[in-house]
Amino acid sequence: MKKRLSLFLLFLNLLPLGGVRAQSARPNILFIFADDLRADALGCYGNPYVSTPTLDSLARQGTSFANAYILGGDQGAVCAPSRAMLLSGQSFFRVSDKLNGVLTLPMHLRQHGYTTFLTGKWHNEREAVAAGFDRAQNVMLGGMANHFEVPVRDLKPDGTFTEPEKKGFSTDIFTNTALDFLDQHDGQKPFFAYVPYTVPHDPRSPLPEYLRQYDEQGVPLPPNFMPLHPFSFGNSMAIRDEQLAAFPRTPDVIRAQTAAYYALITHLDQSVNLLIRKLKQKGLDKNTLIIFTSDNGLGLGSHGLLGKQNVYEHSVRVPLILAGPGIPKNKTTDAFAYLFDLFPTLCQYARLPVPGGLDGQGLWPVIQGKAKGVRTELMTAYMQFQRSVRDARYKLIRYPAIDHTLLFDLRQDPYELRNLAEKPEHAPRVQALLALLQTEQKKYGDTLPLTAEKVLPRHWDYRTIERKPDPWQPQELIERYFKD
């Protein structure tokens, strides 16, 4: 009898991955996605000023990547290609920001027995929502909104959406919707709950109770604060993100905006706490993987920049934390990771087949401690104006449009302030990294020459920029930052 029982149990373990019992044994996945959160804006990533106790605790309960990056973007709205890469596992040179008709992570999980759920920001073609999600409630279609007036919609059975409604502050809407989903989940199938927030993306207008936690003039400036970026990238410096404060940048304005940015992050941190508490209340915490990351970083005064339309570390490096069953606790790895590595990583974690044709590489061996990394170099890119490549120590940035090169020793100069490219002793390293950059370009489908046919001047004059507020800025921010 015991022998027959053992054989029966063995048979169950050998069922196809689509089998009912295999589905019920698979982990749930709660994917929490921040918007414009630079890696060093969390306590667990070395920031002593911002208050993020929940995420700091999550990092202690799991594994953090110190070198997680986005590949970059082909447009000013970097978040759109970043999200497309995350969900498709492919570089933006192949998918751009379009997901309609593309195999996505939620589609793949759904095909293998997962209940898939979305609430929050969706910036990658509305038709792709119905293809990937069983349920989508209180979804913001687009790139940004006033946090107090965010228009949200529900997915209808026919794949279209309800008319937009404004229901409150964005962070609270998405958190409460995710809490309702967790309350209603019947446990018959594992779930993939994708919760992409719209904070701390601007407008930098947090709820007052969170802003009161920060001294607007006591917030430290970034170590690489500059009043102005020292040269043009070749494209206009008048892009929307850079107009959110006057030129030249002043310490008072950067401190005030950083305080509001931190307040939005603290609100998000407390919302994550509510989600984790709900998992515990429902008994779901023992079989749920929690992932926290961001679509890109942000300048916020670093190098005289406010936005993410650049390849400096503050804009392309993001936090990445994984915690849950099977994830080593209190571990930090220096292994290079892209956001698009998460598609194959989650497949490995959930014991699902990894689709072919992905640019991402599974990080599960790194997380388990069986491999030091999946790559030894890492490229980032922004439109046709910027390319970079880095190894374990050095980072080269190439500006094709202005025929300019920077080289930084990130070990000695993590804030990218001392250009070594023109020092004779570094000439061989510059050439080696340029060759490596070209190799990486081919790998991800990037055909941009590293010197433009027509080289543009590096000089730019901030006095020629006429600043105008976008339609999503609340009146109080217009009065404060756009009035002379």
Q: How far apart are CA 293 and CA 37, in angstroms?
A: 8
Which residue in 284, 281, 280, 277 sits closest to 26, CA to CA?
A: 284
As a whole number of Å, the CA-based R_g of the chain is 23
| Cβ atoms of 467 and 245 closer than 8 Å | no
Ranges of CATH 3.40.720.10 domains, the chain: 23-375
pTM of structure: 0.94
| Cβ atoms of 364 and 349 closer than 8 Å | yes
| Cβ atoms of 109 and 192 closer than 8 Å | yes
Phi (first) and psi of residue 70, to 5 degrees = -95, 155
pLDDT value for 25: 80
Q: How far apart are CA 321 and CA 123, in angstroms?
A: 23
Q: How far apart are CA 39 and CA 61, in angstroms?
A: 18
**CATH match of 382-453 with 3.30.1120.10:** yes
**Tokens standing for residue 54:** 């929940």
List, for residues 93-108, the tens digit of each pLDDT value. 999 999 999 999 999 9
Residue with tokens 């209940």: 115
Question: How does pLDDT run along the chain (484 residues), one tens digit per residue?
Answer: 444 434 333 333 333 333 333 334 899 999 999 999 999 999 999 999 999 999 999 999 999 999 999 999 999 999 999 999 999 999 999 999 999 999 999 999 999 999 999 999 999 999 999 999 999 999 999 999 999 999 999 999 999 999 999 999 999 999 999 999 999 999 999 999 999 999 999 999 999 999 999 999 999 999 999 999 999 999 999 999 999 999 999 999 999 999 999 999 999 999 999 999 999 999 999 999 999 999 999 999 999 999 999 999 999 999 999 999 999 999 999 999 999 999 999 999 999 999 999 999 999 999 999 999 999 999 999 999 999 999 999 999 999 999 999 999 999 999 999 999 999 999 999 999 999 999 999 999 999 999 999 999 999 999 999 999 999 999 999 999 998 6
| Topology annotation, domain 23-375 | Alkaline Phosphatase, subunit A (3.40.720)
Ranges of CATH 3.30.1120.10 domains, the chain: 382-453
Distances from the Cα of 404 to the Cαs of 299, 305, 379, in angstroms?
A: 21, 18, 17
| Cβ atoms of 190 and 24 closer than 8 Å | yes
Which residue in 192, 189, 191, 193 sits closest to 21, CA to CA?
A: 189
List, for residues 323-336, the tens digit of each pLDDT value. 999 999 999 999 99
